[in-house]
Chain A
């Protein structure tokens, strides 16, 4: 039979459908797979060509109730039964009318605001009215207003972009022709024509394309950020019919809208024939059509139901460790608050009880109101039970700032400021990808300073993921000499029809091998070499894109594909004269040293992680049918023809050498198929590829059947270069006490080799390797390892290397504990052959067993689960798309930026935030205690000498700005010091910046300071003519000065902003006090001027300031001088320049060590 014809022939009616008369076979696990779910992860390994998961998704069948029915080209009928969303999108949250209620509703989701609100509402009860209306509502109203303005502005911008989006035009088939229609009017069921370089308006099932085989190429940059082209297919059945749209009738039954951009399952029925549709048949909103003149599709999801819009959500919100830890202290403060209120209520009760007979005659109480009736009724007195109750709640209102709600708002502001500086850090800007640092999560900045475990992906994270073809092994002979990088050789190019074609990337070639291929098919060796490169050029899913250059006669060939390994191989083949020029689903065109040859692609078995190989069946120009297979060595040697044992052996030796050098290896094999074999394969392939149930499994089986008895062609070695600065970065992080785990899919030799070159492993490390094939042996080796580390007690120098198979036995098992114990004692851990789902498992293993912080860094979709699992997720925005970035909390361009990120910014942020929290506790508690002490002298009623406005403004204006400024700007140590001495990072790991002990010290200091502020003036003015307002003003100003000086004492770097904030706050507070005192209708009129002109006032102020800060100053000095922390010593050394004189010994020694090469 003619293989060329067979591929175009529509497949016959599927036999399986005949058995199953139902539309669908329900599957139990038909669960929605979301963006970040494991099920949708594409496994990238070796020559990963396509998503094996995609296929497996499509076999799951759709239940009727979970389906939507779309009549092709019949939007009226489609939409009459179901209420499908139109295509207009609305990302804006509010309209003019809903803005106020909705925005308020959303804002009150924050606990802090609810607290404000409850207090404000309590205050509105006449019995509890402590503050005036204005003073009680002002802070809340202010915060709400600011947030509302911000939200309104953002929403306005969204409205504008929505309008632009909704009014774009698309060609829709209507009234027998394609007409332009606004995006917002597009309905589900309509047929749309998209032209090259246009953006897709909605999710569509492909019906036909300009390509006769039904292939389209789409760029999904807007969706997942990946810039390479993806292939999508129209079904053969619809391809022909689409020419005549009028008669097109059929329907699609597809799953309900969901967020999984890599999954789609549907069935289509045309003319009574049922077809199964998968993710490769759908093109999604936001993608761009490339390399295809036009495509026709029927709308299945529109507007807000498109996958792009469903994925349109922000970064996951995490809570920082510090904030979680802080909750304990918040609870302590609440208890403290309750105690204060109880004391106030109880003492008030005792007073009322002892004076119960005199209440009517006490001049300052006078219970009875005689103005209404002669006998008098009680005025604002509800019995002493109620009085206790009211006093308690009034106390809550008065002492409300004991719980530093403003701290939450300050923390948010500080984090925004910190994020600004991280984003703008020049040292975290990646020139090659033009990307600066991104802070996607705004609430875990300070977690960066406490990382103890680092989980890193290898490919693309430690390495550049720019694959470079290094060595070839053909027939067991190694060709790995390469011309020097600066050679004059112009690189391969070829002239076709007067146009010079050039591969975009130059590959350095081995001159011997090049010569060999040029000799044509003269020798057996040369024939093998040609076969080798032909298979490299053909056996892949790369799409060549020919682009123009400035010279009209020269065109560049750019290879686009999903796997960088394949790209490297195809470029290599091109350099040796096998230039892939064209690929459609039916054929490929390869220019072999000037001679253009056309090969029919008769079948393609895509890569999957079970087989770990891919294969292609080509109909060659000489009418032979050949099978080319390419895959990982572990999977390839099993399917080789044993008769080539010698070559296999030689190849194995070479492979070992390659992977020891850290190269990624692939093995290529081939076989010529005879007619009967082909025929047999073809029929089973046809059956499998149209099967509705278990299609992926069937295809895998078909592939497995044909991929046998291969003749070994050769092996390739690709170098995945380490990123710049990776070894130094790992060294720094290790010195910083961070345990680095590298998780890679590579095999053990490659992984260990990369481990050495990245300085994760050093020569003086003892390696413990665990390769087990059963639970028992795994347990045994782990326990042995545990024992050996325990006995040797050289914990610093042990590296654990464990492979994915062993991990299968370890994870979800009691062995997890053993592994964790072992891992704790090791300084480096290398996990090789790890499947993506295991990555998250390993992170979880550590995270669940320790309170230490974990950080995961990765660049690919396979790292998403790990990034989301870890406390802090960092995405590398590199070669492999943006999925890791989308799931991450922080994103950056290079692995080495981790060093400034953690050691510098993390350290700073942690120190700043830790101090800020303690300071805010102190600042508010001081004020509350001053108010409390006064209550003991006002007959236990909640009079405040400090005016209500000052109480409200205290935490908003008087003292707020300096702490925010310090939280953003202060640096305990300079950048260079922190980078030079990674050990300083330990401060955060040991949680020295914030702890319950520190909290208690702070609170004791708080009590002393508040007592000094309160009692000095009280005793000084006892029995004098001082009035409430004057004394209140003194207390206010004293508190503000002390609190700000306290901060000033702890500031490490004084720049002009710090000066302005601290001194400015004191001045602002004084101005506010003055402004409040010039209002004649307030009782405190002119008090500040009256009291300010007395010497007593200033003497009290001076005494207060010195007395309150004296203990802190003395103890701070003693501790810093006699119990210096590392930070303190480093700060001194930084200032006095003593670091340069005596270089620390321990650091440099490790840096000098060369990575050993095998």
Chain B
């Protein structure tokens, strides 16, 4: 910044050159340079403020009601099975049980309390599972998932990068910990089909996971984290993996397992045969099976509705309060006698 001023004193040459042009230094007049651009100057008058709050209240309360209705309309059945699916004998060492060999089949019975229109979404819900753990989310490689040419690009995937020098596809902790509990449903001893197609994002299937990328060396290493993959299917068709790889934002999350394409009626008893393979026991993670319908707003969650109602009521309350205040104790806007110097002068008189 010192350079701007420096040419004025010394270096006679430069100042002489500029001295030749004898034009007036008068600044060019424009509304812009005089900071007089046409402008709108809104001020917060009581009317405007009260009106704003009124409108906000009037809009928010119905929205809140609509949200609550949407949420209440969702039928949701949640069944926590992580502890129940461990035989009582192994309950004091659940980790050993889950890591042990053998079939860990578990049978659960669910009663449908309210009619559920199809499609009924089947979710597994994990709690206390930090899929957003920094160490975890970084341990993946998106390029490798997309193109076979990048299969050696595994350096971000440690500690699950390669096995015996060969790269793992898909590499990284995220893929390695693929959820592998399985559910099969039957109603009145009649199989309920679970549609596992189209549970992932279309954009992921088409552009993110390669159609010619096949699993390699997956779950070949010493500790096995979770599910295995069918090595003959390209990644773009491994929808469970695709869903799993969309890491959850919060430590309590659901992931779509499939869809039941038939209506469920109130009072139906559904038997679930599940394979309890996934180890959440080492960190007190909970596993829940969720059957839920959906609304235009999403799943069952009253929070937003309540929030809208609360904010709406506050706005209405403020509108009323301000209106009362305004009527009881108004101030004339723009009255110069309120100016501090006029006030003190008035005080003296």
Contacts and interface: CB of A to CB of B under 8 A. Distances in A.
Interface of A: 89, 91, 154, 158, 161-162, 164-165, 168, 199, 222-223, 285-286, 306, 308-315, 317, 355, 358, 361-366, 368-371, 374, 376, 379-380, 420-421, 423-426, 429, 431, 434-436, 440, 442-443, 886, 937-939, 941-943, 945, 969, 971, 975, 981, 983, 986, 1016, 1018-1032, 1052-1058, 1080-1083, 1085-1086, 1089-1090, 1094-1096, 1099-1100, 1102-1103, 1106-1107, 1110, 1113-1114, 1116-1117, 1120-1122, 1124, 1126, 1129-1139, 1142, 1144-1146
Given A91-B11, A1135-B334, 20 more contacts: A161-B14, A164-B17, A222-B16, A309-B11, A311-B10, A314-B6, A366-B159, A426-B34, A969-B37, A1024-B253, A1024-B254, A1032-B249, A1052-B41, A1080-B208, A1086-B201, A1086-B208, A1117-B46, A1122-B331, A1136-B333, A1139-B334
11 contacts: A311-B9, A436-B25, A945-B132, A983-B341, A1022-B301, A1025-B248, A1099-B308, A1106-B311, A1114-B49, A1132-B333, A1142-B337
Nearest to B30: A424
Interface string B202-217: 0110011000000000
Interface residues of B, number: 119
Contacts of A969: 35, 37
B9 A1145 contact: no
B186 interface: no
Contacts of B1: 314, 317, 442-443
B297 A943 contact: no
A1020 B6 contact: no
Most buried by A among B9, B49, B226, B342: B9
B65 interface: no
Contacts of B308: 1099, 1103
A1024 B159 contact: no
Contacts of A1030: 249
A1120 B335 contact: no
Most chain A CB atoms below 10 A, which of B161, B283, B331 = B283
B252 A943 contact: no
Nearest to B166: A371
A1096 B304 contact: yes
A1124 B337 CA distance: 12
Given A1023-B125, A1121-B46, A1131-B43, A380 B345 contact: no
A951 to B, nearest CB: 14
A317 B3 CA distance: 12
Contacts of B159: 366, 368-371, 379
B28 A424 contact: yes
Contacts of A365: 133, 135-136
Given A1056-B37, A1126-B340, A434 B46 contact: no
Among A1027, A1058, A1107, A1137, residue most surrounded by chain B Cβ atoms (within 10 Å): A1027
A1103 to B, nearest CB: 6
Contact of B135 (A435, A941, A1055, A1121): A941
A314 B2 contact: yes
Given A314-B1, A314-B3, A886-B9, A1117 B49 contact: yes
Given A164-B17, A1082-B142, A1026 B250 contact: yes
Given A361-B279, A363-B173, A1080-B208, A1106 B301 contact: no
B56 interface: yes
Contacts of A1130: 339
B13 A161 contact: yes
A1090 B205 CA distance: 13
B5 interface: yes
A1027 B248 contact: yes
Contact of A426 (B25, B27, B133): B27
Contacts of B318: 1114
B97 interface: no
Given A886-B9, A1106-B60, A1117-B322, A1016 B307 contact: yes
B311 A1133 contact: no
Contact of A1081 (B12, B15, B143): B143
Contact of A1025 (B123, B163, B279): B123
Most interface-central of B34, B208, B280, B342 (chain A CB within 10 A): B342
B137 interface: yes
Contact of A1126 (B6, B207, B339): B339
Nearest to B318: A1114
Contacts of B53: 1114
B336 A429 contact: no
Contacts of B301: 1019-1024
B130 interface: yes
B283 A1124 contact: no
A992 to B, nearest CB: 11
Interface in B124-139: 125, 129-137
B43 A370 contact: no
Given A370-B222, A937-B251, A1133 B11 contact: no
B327 interface: no
B246 interface: yes
B307 A1103 contact: yes
A168 to B, nearest CB: 7
B33 A1025 contact: no
A1027 B246 contact: yes
Nearest to A939: B130
A376 B123 CA distance: 35
A1107 B311 contact: yes
Contact of B146 (A312, A1080, A1135): A1080
Given A1054-B42, A1086-B201, A1145-B345, A285 B135 contact: no
B25 A434 contact: yes
Contacts of A1117: 44, 46, 49, 322
Contact of B296 (A223, A1095, A1103): A1095
A971 B26 contact: no
B10 A939 contact: no
Q: Which of B13, B135, B140, B329 has the most CB of A within 10 A?
A: B13
Contact of B12 (A154, A308, A1131, A1138): A308
Given A1103-B304, A1133-B336, A362 B132 contact: no
Given A362-B282, A1142-B337, A1132 B12 contact: no
A366 B279 CA distance: 13
Given A314-B2, A1053-B40, A1054-B40, A222 B12 contact: yes
A308 B255 CA distance: 77
Contacts of B46: 1117, 1121
A1027 B158 CA distance: 22
B347 interface: no
B60 A165 contact: no
Contact of B129 (A222, A363, A1135): A363
B1 to A, nearest CB: 5
A420 B297 CA distance: 52
Interface in B22-58: 24-29, 33-35, 37-44, 46, 49, 52-53, 56
A1023 B9 contact: no
Contact of B24 (A370, A434, A1027): A434
Contacts of B137: 943, 1028, 1083
Contact of A363 (B16, B37, B225, B336): B225
B328 to A, nearest CB: 11
Given A368-B159, A370-B223, A1055-B37, A1023 B6 contact: no
Shortest 9 CB-CB distances between A and B: which pairs?
Answer: A314-B2, A369-B159, A1132-B334, A312-B10, A941-B134, A165-B13, A1086-B203, A1133-B334, A286-B12
A379 B140 CA distance: 15
Nearest to A1125: B340
A971 B38 CA distance: 12
